[in-house]
Structure 1
Amino acid sequence: MPDLLGRKFTANEPNRVYVGDMYLPACDRGGKNMYLATVIDAYSRKLAGYALADHMRVSLVIDALAHAHGVRGSLDGAIFHSDRGSVYTSQAFRNYCSSLGVRQPMGAVGTSADNALAESFNAL
């Protein structure tokens, strides 16, 4: 899906535009790296959902969006913007977004500025 945000990471109301990313925070659990997937509300700039796991499989980002769905309620009609990482382009994640009524635009390949809100949130 094309980039619907065009680097304008704003929303006129909460629960309409979300951005997400996955990264490796500086933590270790029994010798294993832990990966964090985040879902950020573009209106409030607050964390709406997250998941933490010792893997980077698609279930991690599905769990993060499921957490946002559980906390925020219906995501029907919302936008979830991400980079073009393999977990976000996977058929499983696309199907999950579709089941929630979530549109899934993405930034360009290799352009972190196209997902700047999520990238800067994870830099904290």
Structure 2
Amino acid sequence: MSEPYRYIHTEKANYPITLLCRVLHVARSSYYAWREGEAARRRRRAADDALAHEITVLHLASRRTYGVPRIHAELRRRGRRVNRKRIARVMGERDIRGVTRRKHRSLTRPDKKAKPAPDLIGRDFHADTPGTKLVGDITYLPTAEGWLYLACWLDLATREAAGYAMADHHRAELVVTALDMAYGRGNLQPG
């Protein structure tokens, strides 16, 4: 959006500002507000560059492992009060990333010898009539008492849960119970 203002600023020696604003459909007051804010934008860019230098020093000192939370904590420990979102923005703009060591937990262990299951719906996730196409998934939720597993079947026509089941395990009977619930509601079509 600042391109018209920059153009007006460069051409104001050749044409009146009023004419340029009218031709570019820009309010004159907006141009003047942009011009007055240029100094503030320059100061903000300079402050971001200084912050980026501090972040880079900390990041290199950590052997490129610190991410936003640790950089934020280290800056606060050194007495520098900076918003965490600003640190994330500056690191994102300069492509500075930390290392994450979290392991992704998967509910399934693929059998390398097993033949892949056929795609029965052919990657077509649309259905015209309810009860003709169902898709299912299972997920896990952390609770104070341990993991809670949720199996859910969605009807692709209505995008509603046709059946679901919860348990403290993720064995096949959990998925079957959710499918029984969908069948028990009586809105599944044969086949």
TM-score range, shorter chain: 0.5 to 0.7
1:22-101 alignment runs, 5 A limit = 22-25=138-141, 27-28=142-143, 31-77=145-191
With the length of structure 1 as denominator, give the TM-score of the two structures: 0.55
The higher radius of gyration belongs to: 2
Contact 1:20–1:38, Cα closer than 8 Å, also in 2: yes
Contact 1:38–1:47, Cα closer than 8 Å, also in 2: yes
With the length of structure 2 as denominator, give the TM-score of the two structures: 0.37
For structure 2, list consecutive stretches of 5 or more residues without a partner in the other structure. Answer: 1-116
Partners of 1:45 and 1:63 lie apart in 2 by: 20
- Structure 1 residue 18 and structure 2 residue 134: aligned? yes
Partners of 1:12 and 1:70 lie apart in 2 by: 21
DSSP 3-state at the match of 2:153: strand
**Aligned pairs, number:** 75
DSSP 3-state at the match of 1:56: coil
After superposition, give the CA deviation of every residue in 1:17-74 in whole Å (9 maximum; x if it has no partner). Answer: 000000013x41x522100000000001000000000000111000000000111345
Percent identical pairs in the alignment equals 41
For structure 1, list consecutive stretches of 5 or more residues without a partner in the other structure. Answer: 78-124
- Over 3 Å counting, the alpha-carbon distance change for 1:13 and 1:74 in structure 2 is closer
- Over 3 Å counting, the alpha-carbon distance change for 1:10 and 1:74 in structure 2 is closer
- Over 3 Å counting, the alpha-carbon distance change for 1:54 and 1:75 in structure 2 is farther
After superposition, give the CA deviation of every residue in 1:53-105 in whole Å (9 maximum; x if it has no partner). Answer: 0000111000000000111345521xxxxxxxxxxxxxxxxxxxxxxxxxxxx
Q: Counterpart in 1 of 2:122?
A: 6
DSSP 3-state at the match of 1:20: strand
Contact 2:121–2:133, Cα closer than 8 Å, also in 1: no
Q: Give the superposition deviation at 1:12.
A: 1.5
- Over 3 Å counting, the alpha-carbon distance change for 1:43 and 1:73 in structure 2 is closer
Whose helix proportion is higher, 1 or 2?
2
